[in-house]
């Protein structure tokens, strides 16, 4: 049977010592749906009443320890953290060997904690499903969630099978098998350019840049910088999969610095530099902090200019002092990059709602940011001021000018137009 025609291998991850009935049911459903279940046992307290394909002893060995040492710690949290390290290492090895087509994990808060680590080591395009008692909960930090993770609430099934639990588990198993059969994993065709932005009502440069880059022989992935979009961008960058990036919406840095729940984690603007990817950076929307529109505006932002984008997300501007602080953070992250960085500073504005007559127009605060950015940009960065708004065609053309120069100099891989 050819690789494309073989049945997808689905990892079934859980604590078989306490959830054997549920996990065996899941394996059965996966088999009926046309997949091959590969059981991964992450039990701590005892061995399951079945022979898993990868035992808890395999997991502890991958973590560089054994089950006795883990149990000797006497702490459930540290024990499961060690199991998470082992499970992630084992699964990463299986994936790199081409032995994983999808994963599904079952758990409460402890099992979900472990499952998030496992999902994070699998590449984008490998289906990942977690059945959890805390699915979509605020307990889950955005930076722990794999970009293409799917979740479903483990409703009514904490202790054993019942009709509700069977419905949830069978749906989840069918979903991961179907995804594994249908998934088109990212190919290695034309060089890939990563770009960050917001919806086109706020930032518009991608309308010029994407077709121009495609004409030059590149594929372009535009990431929506509303927390999880930035997380996805950083995950792909960390794997070194971009030929270059246009990181033009770094507003998630401002969110993180000001305690917003709309965050992509503490490593925003770091992974491309670590991976040696050339970066062209601009400060799109760094004057704003996002927040849930359905919640009351935090007192610390009381009186600040406010814009409700829809019923889910709203933005307030940060003060001149906070903008200066963000400028210094941005500069520090550019300085740490291990590959060429160019920084474009648009003098006339950095998002659509800061124009005159718009709700977030604050020219003095913008001037404070521009001033601090000029002071903070490190000497290692190719710094250009653009006398235009970030949404003006002139800005996009200046970005292409830098990019084309880098291609000519061999800094960026040349595109393929054939």
Please give the chain's pLDDT, 418 residues, in tens.
Answer: 444 468 999 999 999 999 999 999 999 999 999 999 999 999 988 999 999 999 999 999 999 988 888 877 667 788 888 999 999 999 999 999 999 999 999 999 999 999 999 999 998 889 999 999 999 888 888 778 888 999 999 988 777 899 999 999 999 999 999 999 998 877 668 999 999 999 888 999 999 999 999 999 999 999 999 888 998 899 899 989 999 999 999 999 999 999 898 888 889 999 999 999 999 999 999 999 999 899 888 888 888 999 898 999 999 999 999 999 999 999 999 999 999 999 999 999 999 999 999 999 999 999 999 999 999 999 999 999 999 999 999 999 999 999 999 999 999 999 998 7
Helix (H) or strand (E) run with residue 345 in it: strand 341-346
CA-based diameter of the chain, in Å? 70
C-alpha–C-alpha distance, residues 235 and 231, integer Å: 6
Distance CA 141, CA 228 (A): 10
Which helix (H) or strand (E) segment holds residue 272: the answer is helix 271-274
pTM of the model: 0.85
How much is the CA Rg of the chain, to the nearest whole Å?
24
Tokens of 388: 């235009």
Query: What are the residues whose beta carbons fall under 8 Å from the beta carbon of 283, sequence distance 6 or more?
Result: 250, 327, 330, 345, 346, 350, 369, 373, 390
Tell me how far apart the alpha carbons of residues 40 and 10 are, in angstroms, rounded to a whole number: 10
Chain-centroid distance, C-alpha 362: 31
> What CA–CA distances, in Å, run from 245 to 116, 377, 408?
27, 18, 16
- Cα of first residue to Cα of last residue in the chain, in angstroms, is 33
Sign of the torsion formed by the C-alpha atoms of 275, 276, 282 and 287: positive
> CA angle 104-109-114, nearest 5°?
50
Full set of structural domains in the chain with CATH: 9-182 (3.40.50.12020), 192-409 (3.40.50.12030)
Q: In the 8-state DSSP scheme, what is residue 54? A: B
Q: What are φ and ψ of residue 53, in 5° steps?
A: -70, -35
């Amino acid at each position: 049977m050819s690789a494309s025609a073989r049945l997808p291998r689905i990892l079934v991850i859980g604590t078989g010592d306490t959830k054997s009935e549920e996990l065996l049911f899941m394996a059965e459903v996966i088999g009926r749906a046309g997949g091959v279940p590969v059981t991964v046992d992450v039990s701590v307290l005892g061995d399951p009443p079945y022979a898993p394909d990868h035992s808890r002893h395999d997991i502890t060995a991958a973590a560089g320890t054994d089950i006795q040492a883990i149990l000797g710690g006497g702490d459930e949290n540290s024990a499961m953290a060690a199991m998470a390290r082992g499970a992630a290492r084992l699964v990463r090895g299986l994936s790199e060997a081409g032995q994983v087509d999808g994963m599904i994990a079952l758990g409460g808060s402890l099992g979900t904690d472990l499952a998030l680590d496992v999902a994070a080591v699998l590449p984008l395009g490998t289906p990942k499903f977690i059945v959890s008692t805390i699915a979509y909960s605020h307990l889950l930090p955005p930076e722990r969630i794999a970009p293409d993770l799917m979740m479903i609430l483990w409703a009514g099934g904490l202790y054993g099978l019942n009709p509700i639990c069977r419905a949830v588990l069978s749906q989840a198993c069918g979903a991961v098998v179907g995804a594994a059969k249908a998934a088109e994993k990212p190919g290695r065709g034309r060089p890939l350019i990563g770009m960050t932005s917001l919806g086109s009502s706020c930032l518009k440069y991608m309308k010029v840049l994407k077709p121009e880059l495609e004409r030059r022989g590149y594929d372009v992935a535009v990431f929506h910088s509303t927390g999880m979009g930035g997380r996805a961008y950083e995950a792909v960058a960390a794997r070194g999969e971009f030929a270059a990036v246009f990181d033009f919406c770094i507003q998630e840095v401002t969110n993180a610095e000001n305690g917003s729940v709309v965050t992509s984690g503490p490593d925003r603007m770091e992974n491309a530099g670590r991976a040696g990817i050339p970066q062209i950076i601009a400060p799109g929307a760094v004057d704003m902090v996002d927040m849930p529109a359905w919640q009351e505006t935090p007192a610390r932002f009381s009186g600040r200019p406010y814009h409700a984008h829809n019923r889910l997300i709203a933005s307030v501007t940060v003060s001149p002092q906070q903008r200066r602080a963000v400028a210094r953070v941005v500069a520090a992250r550019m300085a740490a990059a291990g590959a060429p960085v160019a920084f474009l500073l648009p003098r006339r504005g950095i998002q659509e709602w800061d124009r005159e007559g718009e709700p977030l127009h604050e020219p003095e605060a913008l001037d404070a940011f521009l001033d601090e950015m000029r002071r903070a940009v490190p000497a290692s960065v190719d710094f250009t001021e653009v006398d235009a708004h970030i949404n003006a065609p002139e800005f996009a053309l200046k970005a292409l000018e830098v990019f084309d120069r880098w291609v000519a100099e061999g800094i960026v891989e040349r595109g393929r137009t054939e």
